[in-house]
């Protein structure tokens, strides 16, 4: 389960940002997770409180926004939304889109005190 190590990385990032920006507690953590990122959101929700225990992120609320996939079609030079990895182009119907968004995961913002 790589979600545990993702949570550890999030907490490490929050700690380093707390030192830079002088905050002591994270109240809300907002994440953006791509549909094709390979991250299991429920596993992340399960792991985060355990990893955050005793840290500045203990008791922080986690809000997750799922980012849909976007692909680029070389055939018709257009962008298409993707719900599956091998979705066809919405303009011309061809397959083989190049994934351009939806595989990322990032901390969008945090509310702190």
Q: Which residues are annotated as a binding site for Zn(2+)?
A: 73, 76, 89, 92
Binding residues: 2, 73, 76, 89, 92
Short-list 32, 41, 34, CA closest to 103:
34
Binding residues for Ni(2+): 2
Short-list 21, 8, 31, CA closest to 113:
21
Contacts with 62 (C-beta within 8 Å, 6 or more apart), sequence order:
28, 29, 30, 31, 44, 45, 48
Helix (H) or strand (E) holding 26: strand 26-34
Find where tokens 């609320």 sit.
61
Pairwise CA distance, residues 98 & 72, whole Å: 5
């Amino acid at each position: 389960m790589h979600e545990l190590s993702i949570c550890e990385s999030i907490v490490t990032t929050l700690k380093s940002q707390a030192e830079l920006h002088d905050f002591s507690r994270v109240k809300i953590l907002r994440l953006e997770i791509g549909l094709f990122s390979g991250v299991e959101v429920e596993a992340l929700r399960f792991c985060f409180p355990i990893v955050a225990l005793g840290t500045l992120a203990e008791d922080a609320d986690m809000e997750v926004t799922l980012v849909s996939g976007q692909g680029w079609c070389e055939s018709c030079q257009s962008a298409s939304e993707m719900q599956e990895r091998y979705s066809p182009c919405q303009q011309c119907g061809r397959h083989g889109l190049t994934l351009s968004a939806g595989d990322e995961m990032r901390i969008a913002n945090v509310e702190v005190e």
